[in-house]
Amino acid sequence: MGVASSSAIAPGASEFAIPTRRHIAVRLLPFLFILYITNYLDRTSVAYAAIGMSRDLGFSDRVFGMGAGIFFISYVALQIPGALLVERWSARRMISATMIAWGSLTALTALVHTPGQLYFARFVLGAAEAGFFPGVIVYLSHWFAREDRAKATSNFMAAIPLSFVIGSPIAGWILGHKWFAVEGWRWLFVLEGLPAIVLGAVAFFFLTDWPSEAAWLTPEHRQWIEQKLHEEKQITVRAITIGQALKSRAILLLAAVTFLNYFVFYSFAFWFPTMLKRQSGFSDLRVGLLGAIPYLATFAVMQVNGWHSDRQRERHWHSAFPMFIAAMGLLGLITQPRSIALSVVFFSMACIAAAYLPTFWAIPTEILSQSAAAASVGMINALGSIAGFAGPYLFGYLHTRTGSFSDGLAVMMLSAIGGGLLILFTPRRASAGD
């Protein structure tokens, strides 16, 4: 993580600024990055497990759409309580507890035999994971000064596409094996749940809640970061109410953009393996290997897009272009190309929608006043996350009803176009009260 020179530090302490910030970043960010990879592996394990479950249990696409989407009902509902619990209890304990809980529940999903059991397993998994993301965001605020927090969050979120790059080949390999007369998809849930349990236990001992408790920092470094964070807390932040937020044009536009973009991303994430499997007829392992390519492309584009956005000091077009590229890829998929290579190219273009994430989440803090941004980011993410239910469910419903993926791809394409256009209509300058 890059660091900048500090401006609000005590006389004589400036020599501790850069080494302290670098030490904290090197100590915490790689581990949190691994935790987020594990989080997305568990959250989306059902995407590849669906291939085996459809063979063995005969679940329809509508069942899988509901199973993928129902996760987000409890996930969204418990976001705010989870964040409050983190702040009032302990971020370290919350992160550890949620990881152990969701790892155990992911492993127990291997026992599913009926649609109702799948729905219940996904619902409780969403509840278990709800406290993780807000827990990490709160945890970052305990350690990183405001000028470094956006970079830290961006580095943390880069784990999303990388988790699929790592997880897709592994999932494909596991699906193709059967051990002790147990189907591969059941082993997939077990083997992807275990790392979360282990890392949750490690997190309890590795993470430190506050700088004052960090034995791995020198006394001078502890004093510098504590003073820096204390000075930032002296700035009064005026909270805004939900009613005020819902009257803000900027906040409503950002929430709408988030919903449309999440609609595309989660629909793709949960249905891509199934689409590729049915079109190609390849083995589970080969589907997993090919399935890593779109996410590898997305990871590369995300890094270049974020770098270029910072260099040009421009966010809106850098957030919109990935959505327009995704729309073109989805249009190509609607034509049902016979070439698997060409389909993978179109799938990669559709997946690039996720490259908007780092640049988009820089927009609220730049176009909203400090008080509005602080109060609204969580609301924007929560409202947008409703698409995590709507997207996968509607896609599965349309395929069950029509027998074709084209209608679902068309809805995704329109969402990508709409999300890209709405980004361009959001304000470009900060306002005092909006």
Q: Which residues contact 89 (CB under 8 A, 6 or more apart)?
A: none
In Å, how far are 78, 112, 136 from 209, measured between CA atoms? 22, 37, 11
Confidence (pLDDT) at 433:
46
Same topology, domains 19-235 and 241-434? Answer is: yes
Confidence (pLDDT) at 245:
59
Average pLDDT, the chain: 84
Residue 241 pLDDT level (bands cut at 50, 70, 90): low
Q: Report DSSP state, residue 3.
A: -
Confidence (pLDDT) at 331:
97
Confidence (pLDDT) at 2:
43
Percentage of residues in the chain having pLDDT higher than 70: 86
In the structure encoding, which two tokens stand for residue 266, read together? Answer: 């989660």
Mean pLDDT of the region 223-252 = 69
Nearest CA-CA partner of 203 in 102, 118, 106: 102
Question: Taking the CA of residue 5 as centre, how many other CA atoms within 13 Å lie in the half-sphere pointing to its CB?
Answer: 3
Instruction: Determine the Cα–Cα distance for residues 68 and 396; give it in Å rounded to an integer.
Output: 10
One-letter amino acid of 30: P
Instruction: Determine the Cα–Cα distance for residues 92 and 95; give it in Å rounded to an integer.
Output: 5
Locate tokens 């584009």: which residue? 301
Measured from the Cβ of residue 242, the count of other Cβ atoms closer than 10 Å reads 10
* 298-331 confidence digits (pLDDT tens): 989 988 888 888 788 888 999 999 999 999 999 9
Residue 296 pLDDT level (bands cut at 50, 70, 90): very high
Spell out the domain ranges in the chain: 19-235, 241-434
The domain 241-434 having CATH identifier 3.50.50.60: the answer here is: no
Whether the per-residue pLDDT at 181 is higher than 50: the answer is yes
Residue 369 pLDDT level (bands cut at 50, 70, 90): low
Choose the most confident range, by mean pLDDT, from 37-46, 273-282, 415-424.
415-424
CATH number of 19-235: 1.20.1250.20
* 66-109 confidence digits (pLDDT tens): 988 899 899 888 877 776 777 678 888 889 999 999 999 999 99
Bridge partners for 182 per DSSP:
179
